[in-house]
Chain A
Amino acid sequence: MDGFEVHPPFTAEERAEKRKLIVRDFVALFTLFVITVVIGVLTYFLFSSFARHRDVLARRWRANGERLLRDGRPDQAIEALRSALQYAPGQRNIEIELAMALAADNRDLEATAYFNALLETEPGNGLIHLQLARLAAKQGNATLAEGHYQRALDGTWGRDGYLRRLSVRLELSGYLISRKDYVRAQTELRTASDNALNMPQKQIEIAGIMERAQDPSDALEIYRVQMRKKGAPLEAYEGAGRTAYGLGRIELARQALERAVNRPGFAKQSAAVQQDVRQVLSDSQRILELYPDPDLSVRARAKRIANAVKIARTRLTGCFASANASGEMANLQEQWQQIPAKLSLRMLERDPQLEQTTMSLVYDTEEQTAQVCGAPTGDDALLLKIAQAPLAVQEQ
């Protein structure tokens, strides 16, 4: 209520003094304002200059850390990345790299604690979940690892999130395979394949993992789809040949492998790989020579059956002669006795039932002798291969 207080009236001199005081205060405050601005500008330049220097240091130490991490020196990378973080505190990428360096240096507890701390501030970060999944997998905690893998798939990623999620799914599949959980791995791989329809190289990679996940059929389908594309990669032909051969689809394997060995890139592969491919191709060709294809002429088929009988009998005789084999093979020998000892081509040509019975006995012989006398070699091995899926040999 100052405004209502009654003051004694000022004299003229006092009024002048009061005006002077107001002007003085105004000038003083203005001067203070100017001083504040000057200090503010100086601080701004000082701070800006230091901030630039700090950025340079942060970048330099980060680059050092990344290089050391790549060079397999995680202990030194940790120090470098910690230094980088000093000059760029809270920078997420550096923090994640530091945690990765800790993990690479086998400081799992520290790395886990660090990643967990990062996760608390960004619970949906896919990359952090992926790293935690790897650490949990490393520590043998399957439940935790799978949980983090799943959250990594559901989590946020940068611009290339689509590719990163695909990569996580493939890693998860690999982890499931390592735990022999093939069914779940196959499911993840099928999803991954659907997500990578327009990515030939990824499809080849997925097919490769499918082979490891004991799913050659799906792998073969992927290889075949890729083979049909213009400029299909060599891996598609080789993969198709390999999986088709594994499935007993020998004709398909032969076709794919013949095209593979004629590809320009084939010779650039390592000698071991070339040798493997050629061996499978050679085996395929020989199987097709041994196989009594129903499409062959009656005579030609009879000749192949007769040849197979000869191979199987020799194998049986050799196996029967080996110790302790007689008891287990008695039944088989009994069946052979029902086949005419002098089986002529004419008999086979005339009697399709005999053809079938004979080939069935050949396959049984190869299978049982393989169990009793060990893995066969040469044509016996190839007949055994046919025995596993006789109807698939010519399947396209």
Chain B
Amino acid sequence: MISSNLRSLFGNGDIGQPVRAQEVSKLAPTRDERLFLVLSIFIGVISGLLVVSFQVAIDWIKILTLGSAPHAGQYRLLFVPAIAGLLVAALVLWFFPAARGSGVNQTKAAFYIYNGYISLRTVIGKFITSALALGGGHSLGPEDPSLQIGAGVASIIARKLGLSRQKLRVFAPIGAAAGLAAAFNAPISAILFVIEEVIGQWSASVLGSIVLAAISSVVVERRFMGAEPRFRIPAVTVRDSRELFAYAILGVIGGLIAFVFSQALGYLRPKMRALPRWTHYCQPAIAGLMVGVIGFIGFPQVMGVGYGIMDQAMHGQFEWKFLFALAIFKLVATTLSFSSGTPGGMFAPTMFIGAMLGAGVGSFEKIFFPHLTGTVGAYALVGMGVLFAGFLRAPLTSVFMVLELSGNYSIILPVILANTIAYLIGRTLQPVPIFEVFTHQDGLDLPSLEEQREETPLHIEDALQPLNVPVVRGEDTIATVAQTIAEARVSAFLIQMPDSSWYAMTLDELTAAGAAVTPGTPVERAVKQDRVPILFPDLPLDSTLPYFPRWPLLPVLNRASRGTLEGIITLNGVLKRYQSV
């Protein structure tokens, strides 16, 4: 009823109503900006509430289906994930086709392709199908679906309020940050992840709203779930610098496992999608059955989200062999669940594998190198970041996630070391990040921050030419200037004005001026009112392009001394420089 109320007020809020948007823009030019911030808070609060409900739904379904304490040898472990898979497949194929997958790429596609559009059906479908899958024991995580749910909430609200197309587009990442922050209970990591993976670029215009929404959602989430971090982090200290070697090894192992994980998903997912459509109904069920078998034979820890298991691993509750086995089985289980098209995220499994590897390395060190002081928890924590950096290829998020989860900056050195190693190994072995692999498999081509990182942007200094045109003073007469230009045989030249500004004049302009005034007139009186822009060698080269239709050449000044010319740039020189890249 409320929804229809909104509709009656704003029609369907369709962005395809340019006349109305123009009217609104004329009547209230700052309306969108003002609503933007208020709505960010509403988006944060609603996303937080929905994510809390989502997590409760997952836990409740898990208790109802797998029991309150699932353990190896229980037959229900075999059939519950299979039945959940069957149900989820039917729901996805019949009712919620857009709910398939993790949700990160779908949100990114909404941002870049669909003008921020995510339907209400997708939000409902994501909620129901992901809750069923995760509660039923599939090895996936709730963060990515939460991200999509948040983005969907934002999209719906923005549409209903009839905001401009430009604003509508950026609402999806705001909601995504809110959803992820609530799911993760880590607002900084959520914000960074959305910037790194969803928007794919640093955008100051939405940063404020993203922060506002993320914080609002985390406040709501903590109101229900408590202010405690997701994991009980033991004290983290690095007293012996030799331990960094162990962390480096963890980085290497993490990088290699991230590569294996990426390869497995990159291989299996398209293979399973290419199978006949009728098999899509049973793929999640078969994946569920196989995950159930893993649980049945002795590793029920890999089923579901696994936060509790990560926490136990951090507190040294498992021996190193078991920890490594858990990491491997989780990798297999997640590959199966995700490749089958079961809705669910990759965050939690990635963190799980990383935590197990880290705790494994830490436990191994405790036994074989007891003189080193690092706690198992510290290794598990660093391990989470390592896989994040190596597999999800979000290095900034990976570092801040560990810092935010641990609340301890003394771990920053091992985190940066291990994450960098894992990131470099992952990038070397698998140049295309996993989310990008998925987008390519889905026939999409979306930008990424990693792409930008790979780019080497050109600066003015790259196209800078030595000063090869005459420089005259504004006080010089037109006759003197004309003689100088004639001797130099150039088509344009620079005039330094008495107020230290510059003017670039063409020969034609000088000729026209000479015909209009007496030859003894100072040239400064013959020029137009505008002046060339002030440019410095370190500015982006593309920033000069808008000036060339007006100016034949542009002077480049020294930052330390504005009167000193570093050189000039011309349109031809700029284009040649771009062509030579």
Measured CB to CB, the residues of A under 8 A from B are 2, 10, 14, 17-18, 21-22, 24-25, 27-29, 31-36, 38-40, 42-44, 46-47, 50, 53-54, 57, 60-61, 79-80, 82-83, 85-87, 89-90, 102, 109-110, 113-114, 116-117, 120-121
Contacts and interface: CB of A to CB of B under 8 A. Distances in A.
A332 to B, nearest CB: 61
Contacts of B42: 29, 32-33, 36
Contacts, number: 118
A120 B235 contact: yes
B228 A17 contact: no
B439 interface: no
Contact of A35 (B2, B23, B234): B2
B232 A90 contact: yes
A133 B49 CA distance: 46
A83 B56 contact: no
Nearest to B70: A83
B85 to A, nearest CB: 24
B46 A36 contact: yes
Nearest to B29: A2
A270 B59 CA distance: 56
Contact of B375 (A21, A25, A109, A117): A117
A87 B68 contact: yes
Contact of B68 (A83, A85, A116, A117): A83
Contact of A120 (B10, B28, B234): B234
Given A21-B27, A29-B38, A47 B234 contact: no
B316 A110 contact: yes
Contacts of A102: 317
B317 A113 contact: yes
Interface stretch (B198-206, B307-315, B453-461, B535-543): B307-315
A24 B9 contact: yes
27 contacts: A2-B30, A14-B27, A17-B27, A28-B9, A31-B6, A32-B157, A33-B42, A34-B2, A36-B46, A40-B45, A43-B49, A46-B53, A46-B56, A47-B52, A47-B224, A50-B60, A53-B60, A53-B63, A79-B71, A80-B69, A86-B68, A86-B308, A87-B68, A90-B228, A102-B317, A110-B318, A117-B315
**Majority-rule SS of B interface residues:** helix
Contacts of A110: 316-319
B69 A24 contact: no
B35 interface: yes
Contacts of A87: 68
A40 B228 CA distance: 21
B376 interface: yes
A79 B27 contact: no
A25 B23 contact: no
Contacts of B26: 14
Contacts of A83: 68-69
Interface in B307-351: 308, 311-312, 314-319
Contacts of B319: 109-110
Contact of B234 (A39, A60, A86, A117): A117
Contacts of A33: 42
Contact of A31 (B2, B28, B53): B2
A24 B6 CA distance: 9
B483 interface: no
B530 to A, nearest CB: 23
B31 A28 contact: no
Contacts of A82: 69, 312
Contacts of A34: 2
Interface string B97-141: 000000000000000000000000000000000000000000000
